[in-house]
Structure 1
Amino acid sequence: MKNNYLNLVGLAFRARKCSLGEETIVKDIQQQRAKLVLMASDTGPQTKKKLTNKCNTYGIPLIEVDDRDTLSNAIGKSQRVAIAILDAGFAAKIKSLLDK
């Protein structure tokens, strides 16, 4: 995985263009505010299923990235398994970096 996207995730978090926590992310997906959801590869099966189903239903891109420690370190929080990017610009750039 490219680590450049982690810098952008940290920047988006500091710009308050992210949401954290399963319930908040689900709410942002349902309200079409989330533009991209990043999920750690070691997410639990129930959370993974819930986020995958919500993203598929509402047409939000979901990308599985590194483990939870790497994702958490990018934003300076501990034990975060998913991050929703709320800004279209950040989402497009992060997605393009992950697609390379």
Structure 2
Amino acid sequence: MRNSYLNMIGLAYRARKCSLGEETIVKDIQQKKAKLVLVASDIGPQTKKKITDKCKTYKVPFEIVDDRETLSHAIGKSQRVAVAILDAGFAEKIKSLLG
């Protein structure tokens, strides 16, 4: 079951419904574009605090998921520590798969 949420992230990425990179994700949170933010469990403490604080301030749900290698592999990029899902449908499906 854990693997299917990674498949959904991959689909969302290929459908161009994701944003990557700390600055882009923070901007999407502030502009209310992000529907869900997925944060790798091994992210640096400062980056984690910055992203999770923005999510709390702008009331965007976030989930701490697998390590950066697993998250990066799901979207086919290297060294990604966070992914913002920009589509409500993908966000709901990923949340339901995460439990």
TM-score by length of 1: 0.98
Superposed displacement of residue 3, structure 1:
1.2
User: 2:43 — aligned with what?
Assistant: 43
User: 1:25 — aligned with what?
Assistant: 25
Q: Secondary structure at the match of 1:94?
A: helix
CA RMSD of aligned residues (A): 0.8
* Distance in 2 of aligned mates of 1:70 and 1:36: 18
* Distance in 1 of aligned mates of 2:77 and 2:97: 22
Unaligned residue ranges in structure 1 (runs of 5+): none
User: 1:4 — aligned with what?
Assistant: 4
* Distance in 1 of aligned mates of 2:97 and 2:10: 14
TM-score by length of 2: 0.99
> Deviation digits for residues 48-81 of structure 1, max 9, x if unmatched?
0000100000000010000000000000000000
User: 2:13 — aligned with what?
Assistant: 13
Superposed displacement of residue 88, structure 1:
0.1
Q: Secondary structure at the match of 1:3?
A: helix
User: 1:85 — aligned with what?
Assistant: 85
Equivalenced residues, count: 99
The percent of aligned pairs where both chains have the same amino acid is 78
* Distance in 1 of aligned mates of 2:45 and 2:90: 27
Moved over 6 A (4+): none
